[in-house]
Structure 1
Amino acid sequence: MTSTTHRPAPSTDGEPDAATGGPTARPATARRRRRSQHRPVWEEAPGPLGFTGKVVLLAFIVLAVAFPLYTIMLTSVSTQADVTRSGGLVTVPGELSLAAYEQILSGGIVTRAALVSIGITAVGTLLSTVVSVLAAFGLSRPGSFGHRPLLFVLLITMFFGAGMIPTYLLVSALGLIDSYWALILPTAVSAFNVLILRSFFMGIDPAITDAARIDGAGDWRVLFQIVTPMSKAAIAVVALFYGVGYWNAFFNAMLYINDNAKWPLQLVLRSYVLQGATLPGSGAGQIDVATGAVTGLPVKMAVLVLAVVPILLVYPFVQRHFTKGVIFGAIKG
């Protein structure tokens, strides 16, 4: 007499079976594992109240960031009549016009300042990134010449600075007053960025570089063909730090640049937007009858948008490297 063992039917997830046409049987534990594979084992599943609170908080943060940008961009493409009717910044779209952008990009001081900022940012970012990579690679090798003294000097610069007056005297003695190099060289190297790259370089497996040296590779080849390709994330983040710093800098230009034709965009923004000065040929906040161009607040908001948008366009392409490039380097350091 044979006995039949009855086992409970496995739970199904609704997917059709190719042989029988019915649902495919999968254990319930597999489904639970699949649902929780993106959550750490120590993190509890969010409850309805906690989930709702997170959504409300994130929505408030997004609104607090997006609404000022929205009003600034809308005001920059509004007519002077809409600005006058709203009493300042425009929040409700009316008649849209690009006259403000046509005016500031027609070859005047704003266009020239934008080109100056682009040039300084490109040259300064390239120079600072290359110097920081070279310094970090040398300091990441414990047996390199002057390793500890140079590292100690680098750390001191993070806590103590020469001050404004000695720095100005140095820049003046080097003949850099009214020179674009005065906007690059005094801030060319950041000790913090060098230490980030050094931590990342020290996290690379020494066996890789040792194998390259056994094959006859020198230090330059190890740096440019092995270390640099493996550190693209950290280098991209550091380059973004330098780029944002050069693009937003205005204080050095205010100190060292006396010629208005050499002003970067941020100094123009500070002088003509924040301090209320009038752009040459823009009038005092009215409509230019001869050209029909909008002036006043729309022009100021257009300059502000021109100063902010380039960083907003570049940041998303580098943002994905932040976790891998900076946090990883800090943990390994």
Structure 2
Amino acid sequence: MRARTLVHGQAAPGPPERLIKGVVFAVLSAAVVIPFLTVFSTSVAPTEQISDAGGLVLFPRGLDLTAYEAIFSGGVVTRALAVSVFVTGVGTALSLFVSCLLAYAISRKHFVLGRPVLLVVLIGMLFSPGIIPVYLVVKQTGLLDSLWALIIPTMVSGFNVIVLRSFFQGIPDELTESATIDGASEWEIFSRIVMPLSKAVLAVIGLFYAVGYWNSFFSALLYIDDATKWPMQLVLRTYVVNDAAMGQADIGSERMPPQTSLQMAILVVSMVPILIIYPFLQRHFAKGVLTGAVKG
């Protein structure tokens, strides 16, 4: 029997092993891709085909954009999309800024309150204050029915702060010490040395924050009464959970598509921004996660 080819000192997998891996990979890929394809296909499928299929369609027989015309003509989805973009953009920027400042402070060895602040962050990860106390705080600070209520209460994540702290501690001390000798302030060290070296972990943490803000609907359900300030996910929940009659009345299109088509179209619109952003951050993702989580 001929010996297997060695790859990195180990025997290369044979044809049966490669076949099994290929089948498993194909099954997992199909499990991820088929739901997305079904959602998009149903949103553009003709009304008759949706009715014949009794709901979801995998391969549309034509292209019908009535659902997209309907949801964008009334302004409900457009307004909600603008709200979500604002909350996600501003919230992610503020969260990154505050989290980086906090993580950098507790990563510095000479910071006297480093351990007490770190203990507070860890306690915040383990124990949640609950819905009612947070609601009372939001109410007392005058944030009810304000878009800032969707940003400020969830601005800092303890987990993300710990990941950033671990990464900042991995930066060689020689860099910061030499900058201190040259007369650089802490802010200059933070902004000119630490931040440029942290692009990978910042991309990962920024993606975590952005996805959290974009997908959040429960905060809006608690704090926002004005329907004109609803984010995209709360509008989507209204169409999926409730009877779409109210949503269709708000849309006001002459020829209304089926409820299922409307739901799938709104779902597609809610997924597109994250799907567009992720490829630009994907190359930093694995590096940022490993660098922020492993010290050696």
TM bracket (short chain):
over 0.9
Amino acid in structure 2 at the alignment position of 1:207: E
Deviations 1:224-255 (A, max 9, x none): 11110011000111000000000000111111
Amino acid in structure 2 at the alignment position of 1:104: I
Report the counterpart of residue 319 of structure 1 in structure 2: 282
Amino acid in structure 1 at the alignment position of 2:49: D
- What is the Cα deviation at residue 275 of structure 1? 3.1
**Kept in 2: contact 1:282–1:295 (CA 8 A):** no
Amino acid in structure 2 at the alignment position of 1:59: A
1:122-271 matched pairs, under 5 angstroms = 122-271=89-238
Task: Give the length in aligned residue pairs.
Answer: 293
CA distance, structure 1, for counterparts of residue 161 and residue 65 of structure 2: 43
CA distance, structure 2, for counterparts of residue 177 and residue 62 of structure 1: 43
- Secondary structure at the counterpart of residue 209 of structure 1: helix
Amino acid in structure 2 at the alignment position of 1:308: M
Amino acid in structure 2 at the alignment position of 1:117: S
- What is the Cα deviation at residue 283 of structure 1? 9.2
**Kept in 1: contact 2:239–2:247 (CA 8 A):** no
Query: Normalized against structure 1, the TM-score is what?
Result: 0.84
Report the counterpart of residue 28 of structure 2 in structure 1: 61
- What is the Cα deviation at residue 107 of structure 1? 4.2
- What is the Cα deviation at residue 295 of structure 1? 4.0
- What is the Cα deviation at residue 282 of structure 1? 5.0
- Secondary structure at the counterpart of residue 126 of structure 2: coil
Deviations 1:99-149 (A, max 9, x none): 211111124211111111110000100000000111111111011131111
Report the counterpart of residue 276 of structure 1 in structure 2: 243
Q: Which runs of 4+ in 1 moved over 2 A?
A: 274-284, 290-295
1:2-13 matched pairs, under 5 angstroms = none
Report the counterpart of residue 6 of structure 1 in structure 2: none
CA distance, structure 1, for counterparts of residue 250 and residue 287 of structure 2: 50
Of 300, 309, 322, 2:272 maps to: 309
Deviations 1:276-321 (A, max 9, x none): 333434599xxx9x83352422111100101112111111211221
CA distance, structure 1, for counterparts of residue 149 and residue 201 of structure 2: 27
Amino acid in structure 2 at the alignment position of 1:90: V
Amino acid in structure 2 at the alignment position of 1:49: P
> Using a 3 Å threshold, how does the CA distance of structure 1 residues 265 and 283 change in structure 2: closer, same or farther?
closer
Amino acid in structure 2 at the alignment position of 1:244: V
CA distance, structure 1, for counterparts of residue 228 and residue 272 of structure 2: 23
- Secondary structure at the counterpart of residue 332 of structure 1: coil
- What is the Cα deviation at residue 45 of structure 1? 1.1
Q: Percent identity?
A: 50
Higher helix proportion: 2
- What is the Cα deviation at residue 93 of structure 1? 1.8
CA distance, structure 1, for counterparts of residue 248 and residue 28 of structure 2: 39
Q: Which 5+ residue runs of structure 1 have no aligned equivalent? A: 1-31
Report the counterpart of residue 77 of structure 2 in structure 1: 110
- Secondary structure at the counterpart of residue 122 of structure 1: helix
CA distance, structure 2, for counterparts of residue 278 and residue 66 of structure 1: 30
**Over aligned residues, Cα RMSD in angstroms?**
2.0
**Kept in 2: contact 1:82–1:95 (CA 8 A):** no
CA distance, structure 1, for counterparts of residue 250 and residue 61 of structure 2: 23
Of 74, 89, 105, 2:41 maps to: 74
> Using a 3 Å threshold, how does the CA distance of structure 1 residues 276 and 217 change in structure 2: closer, same or farther?
same
Amino acid in structure 2 at the alignment position of 1:181: W
- What is the Cα deviation at residue 323 of structure 1? 2.0
- Secondary structure at the counterpart of residue 77 of structure 2: helix
- Secondary structure at the counterpart of residue 93 of structure 1: coil
